[in-house]
Structure 1
Amino acid sequence: MLWLNCNQELGILYGLSDPGKIQSFYSVGIVLALFVSAALLGRNVEPAKILVVYPTIALLTLVAIYFIQTPAICLAGGFLLGFFAAGGVLQLVTAVANEMFPKNRGVITSIVMIASSVANYLVVSVAGILTRIGGTEGPRLVLLFNIAVTLVGILLAVYLNGCLKKEKAAAAKE
């Protein structure tokens, strides 16, 4: 959400003549990620592991975009963020949550979607404030905020993986 709300302004700030192209690259990344993620899941890669790897690559992409202020990085970053941050990550979270609580799939799916909606509202509100106070540097402030949010997501995914590992070890002992 944060990337979608600032990518075109960031593209302009970085000298991109047609910042609308960023969205096209982003969309291609999303579509490609859905196929790759499906293939990974088909090869029994655990969704919780993807929830660490994808956001980590997204974080590295955001950091690169922050420091490499060129038009090309906006386009490449748009693709990579589409792939690693938007391409089915919410669906993977829902799948992992449903796997953890199989008896309450409907409730868990609702909780995940409500949490996503609340988070989207909050981060977009904060992004608006950062844009207002940041002036022309507002998009870069939003980018820093995006880095922070992504880092928190990675830490939560690492914690989740640890919990799942403990749970599987306990189940194996039984």
Structure 2
Amino acid sequence: MKKNHAHAIAGSIYANYIIQSIAVIVVMQFSFVLTQQFDTTIEGLGKIASGIGMGKILFMFVSGLLSDRYGRKPFILIGMLCYVLFFVGLIFCTNIHLAFLLAVLAGAGNAGLDTGSMPVLTECFPQSAGSASILIKAFISIGSFILPFIVTYVYDYQVWYGWIFLAFAIYMLINMLFLLPKSFPSTANVISPVNNGMKDNGSYFIGKPKLSVEGILLVLMGFTTSATFVVIMQWMPEIAKHAVSMAETDAQQLISYYSLGSIISVFSMAYIVKKWLKPIQCVIILPLLSSIILIIFLLDMTPFMCRFTAFTMGFTAAGGVLQLALVVMQQLFPSRKGGAVGVMYTLSGLAFVVTPNVVPKLAIIDVRYAIIFDLIMALLSVIFALIVYSRFKKVIDMQKI
């Protein structure tokens, strides 16, 4: 595939992730208008937001298998259309149950985009799959970075939020028209730093990977790594308001600190995995750093530490660790790239369902319990990654990846 063509496809995919990240947090960020529109509470909005995770769970695995069979493009386009319907639908929806179904539709769109986009990036750039995959987080972070500023503008100037949602939908439609005529690379392309487009799936293997060991542990990391950043991404403002009595607008700005840390991390990690460390090493180091940060935050909850934790957790938990774990999964099981995305992101979707339902209940008892839950998720990621690393060295020649 020509480099310019591959870059055009990648650019369109990265642009999608700006809107995808906005969709994940948009319900909670616009709580000041949506609670009135749906005649519900913050907890009710949390249940609506959990519909995104439900949609991912329902459609991710099947979408991944079909992506391997029928190609990446149809699922990316379907995913984009689902987001258009989600944003337009929310504007006119007044029923909490219908809003939940719209969130499920957004989750289905999330599944389509992920199972198409993640594999096609490694197929466009097989020699730099780690960097190409981790850059997704940069665009995810851009979306979650700018949204709080948009929300503040809408809140301060009493702008009708529907114009913002319509703008998101139009953005996605324009990107669909751009991507529609593009032809995609072969699904047979395998991640390799040596031979671009190589189709010899076993070239770097010195043993046989076990789906029952490293496969299952990496799938579980889809849940634990996602839960680690979901707590901060969706609930850090509420934690700050209840733990240190932070003002509403100041608490919402914590998401921008989180996103800034993630953006810095993504570009740092993209360079690091290309020059110094391998993805398998990074998926140990990043959750370990998250664990240390959360322990420090538990010992000292102040407004400054809320900002520090939001920024540093953005760097360590949201800086691409899930994407790097997926690269490891694709390295171990190269003939099932779409399926690997599907099964890992199904567990990631489960984290988006479980966390919004568990964290509020823990926070009502004691805000610290929500952070302890996050710490447990980070520590489990470290344990799983260490076991995978011990297996990885036995089945793959580290000099060839």
Alpha-carbon contact 1:6-1:142 (below 8 Å) kept = no
Query: Equivalences for 1:99-138 in 2 at 5 Å?
Result: 99-132=331-364, 134=365, 137=366
* AA partner of residue 7 (structure 1): M
Query: Is residue 395 of structure 2 the alignment partner of residue 163 of structure 1?
Result: no
1:32 matched to which residue of 2? Answer: 264
TM-score normalised by the chain length of structure 2 = 0.40
Query: Is residue 235 of structure 2 the alignment partner of residue 3 of structure 1?
Result: no
Query: Equivalences for 1:1-174 in 2 at 5 Å?
Result: 1-12=230-241, 13-17=243-247, 18-132=250-364, 134=365, 137=366, 139-168=367-396
* AA partner of residue 244 (structure 2): Y
Alpha-carbon contact 1:66-1:140 (below 8 Å) kept = yes
Give the 3-state SS of the residue equivalent to 1:45 in structure 2: coil
1:102 Cα deviation after fit: 0.5
**Per-residue CA distance 1:96-130 (angstroms, 9 max, x = gap):** 10001011111111111111111321233221332
1:14 Cα deviation after fit: 2.1
Give the 3-state SS of the residue equivalent to 2:277 in structure 1: coil
**Which runs of 5 or more residues in structure 1 are unaligned?**
none
1:15 Cα deviation after fit: 4.2
Distance 2:376 2:356 in 1: 14
Give the 3-state SS of the residue equivalent to 2:301 in structure 1: coil
**Per-residue CA distance 1:6-35 (angstroms, 9 max, x = gap):** 311222222434222311110101111110
* Structure ranking higher on relative contact order (CA contacts 8 Å, 6+ apart): 1
Q: Which has the larger radius of gyration?
A: 2
Alpha-carbon contact 2:286-2:316 (below 8 Å) kept = yes
**Per-residue CA distance 1:62-119 (angstroms, 9 max, x = gap):** 1111111211111011111001001111211111100010111111111111111113
Q: Which moved more, 1:6-15 or 1:151-160?
A: 6-15
Distance 1:28 1:104 in 2: 33
Give the 3-state SS of the residue equivalent to 1:64 in structure 2: helix
Distance 2:307 2:351 in 1: 26
Alpha-carbon contact 1:58-1:84 (below 8 Å) kept = yes
Q: CA RMSD in A?
A: 1.8
Alpha-carbon contact 2:239-2:363 (below 8 Å) kept = no
Distance 2:329 2:276 in 1: 17
**Per-residue CA distance 1:116-159 (angstroms, 9 max, x = gap):** 11132123322133234x1xx2x211101111111111100111
Structure with bigger helix share is 1
**Per-residue CA distance 1:36-68 (angstroms, 9 max, x = gap):** 111011114110110111111111111111111
Give the 3-state SS of the residue equivalent to 2:246 in structure 1: coil
Distance 1:50 1:35 in 2: 14
Alpha-carbon contact 1:51-1:93 (below 8 Å) kept = yes
Alpha-carbon contact 1:61-1:80 (below 8 Å) kept = yes
Give the 3-state SS of the residue equivalent to 2:253 in structure 1: helix
Distance 2:239 2:346 in 1: 29
Distance 1:155 1:60 in 2: 14
Distance 2:328 2:389 in 1: 10
TM-score normalised by the chain length of structure 1 = 0.88
